[in-house]
Amino acid sequence: MNEPFPKIGVIGVGHLGRHHVKHLVNHTHANFIGITDIDIDRTREIAEEFDCASYGSLESLLDEVDAVSIVTPTRTHADVAEQCIAAGKHVFIEKPITKTVAEADQLLQQAAEQNIVIQVGHIERLNPALLALKEFDLNPKFIEVQRLAPYTIRGTDVPVVLDLMIHDIDIILSLVDSPVKNIRASGVSLLSDSVDIANARLRFENGTVANITSSRIARNKVRKIKVFQKEMYATIDLLLGLTEVYRVLDEEQDDPNAIQSAALDAYGNHKKIVYEKPDVNQFDALEMELTNFIASVKGKSSPIVDGRAGRDALDVATKIHDMILEDIH
């Protein structure tokens, strides 16, 4: 007999929660139970739009489900997730995992004790353009990231480091297999009450350097990553879904993608430059994330971004933000 699908619900159906519902309501491997939100009108609106059940309280939803997506404002994640885990429910928590590292640590411990899956919504880790890099042997030495976004009031309740930069911190921590050795950071507050533009430089124990700039005061969106390593340079446009790779080969090595032969060392020795544009499979990253969560709840997979990864990204983001505040004041 086939195993039943996990029963799942969504807590918080604002801007992003609506998208979680859209993907879960007809998911082929989940049994969608319903939604809850402290805003009664919003709950009713979303329940009508997706023709699903609404629950008047978190407790009443938890009585019916095996797992939940928590898509409430970040400041509420710790309390809501704590309640869900205490009820024995697996949790997908939107990013950042919590407001503070201490809260994240507490959730991780609680989840470990109860054998509960925590997945964190660092959706950019599933960006198809980033995943296209998987076929290459990565050992970054320098990473340059730029993430710019036009100003909107949504998200400004948290500083730009916790809103935007944390995506890139998570990506960088997944690319560099070494602990962070030191951090330099600075930033400014321009429109909101918190930091709107930030720059951070991470140096890892293995010598890798990452330079990240995040701004929510920009004319157009930009999300670009450049990865430099020995004999390879990759550029990833997370927004356009474009990945381009330049590799250096010895002159005698044959490669159909060789575009140029150039003198690349002090002795004038020629090397071949190979240009590749790996296929970027287009898929919906949120759908993929939720499918990964459902499979993890069933014990058939593990979260691509687990609670520990969410906690570690928050830890670095918090250190960056604290450093910026210290610098400003």
> Residue 166: which of 106, 233, 99, 108 has the closest Cα?
99
Q: Which residues on neighbouring strands pair with residue 211, listed in sequence order?
A: 144, 201
Residue 16 within binding range of ligand NAD, rule CB under 6 A: yes
Per CB under 6 A, contacts with ligand NAD among 100-129 are: 121, 123
Q: Which is nearer to ligand NAD, 126 or 245 (CB)?
A: 126
* Residue 244, number of CB atoms within 10 A of its CB: 15
Q: Which amino acid, one-letter code, is at 17?
A: G
Maximal C-alpha separation, the chain = 74
Out of 8, 11, 145, 149, the residue judged to bind ligand NAD by CB under 6 A: 11
Q: Which amino acid, one-letter code, is at 89?
A: K
Q: Which is nearer to ligand NAD, 90 or 247 (CB)?
A: 90
Give the CA angle between residues 167, 171, 174 to the nearest 5°. Answer: 140
Contacts (Cβ under 8 Å, ≥6 apart) of 22? 50
Out of 31, 45, 76, 264, the residue judged to bind ligand NAD by CB under 6 A: 76
HEC-encoded secondary structure of 140-196: CCEEEEEEECCCCCCCCCCCHHHHHHHHHHHHHHHHCCCCEEEEEEEEECCCCCCCC
Q: Which is nearer to ligand NAD, 110 or 156 (CB)?
A: 156
Residue 83 within binding range of ligand NAD, rule CB under 6 A: no
Residue whose entry in the numeric block shows the structure tokens 């402290």: 38
Residue 38 within binding range of ligand NAD, rule CB under 6 A: yes
Residue 73 within binding range of ligand NAD, rule CB under 6 A: yes
> In whole angstroms, how close is the CB of 123 to ligand NAD at the nearest point?
4
Per CB under 6 A, contacts with ligand NAD among 236-295 are: none
Out of 102, 113, 154, 299, the residue judged to bind ligand NAD by CB under 6 A: 154
Which residue number is nearest to ligand NAD in terms of Cβ? 14
Q: How far apart are CA 55 and CA 51, in angstroms?
A: 13
Residue 42 within binding range of ligand NAD, rule CB under 6 A: yes
Residue 9 within binding range of ligand NAD, rule CB under 6 A: no
Q: Which is nearer to ligand NAD, 95 or 271 (CB)?
A: 95
And the tokens for 196? 């709107």
User: Contact positions toward ligand NAD, by CB under 6 A?
Assistant: 11-17, 36-39, 42, 71-74, 76, 80, 94-95, 121, 123, 154
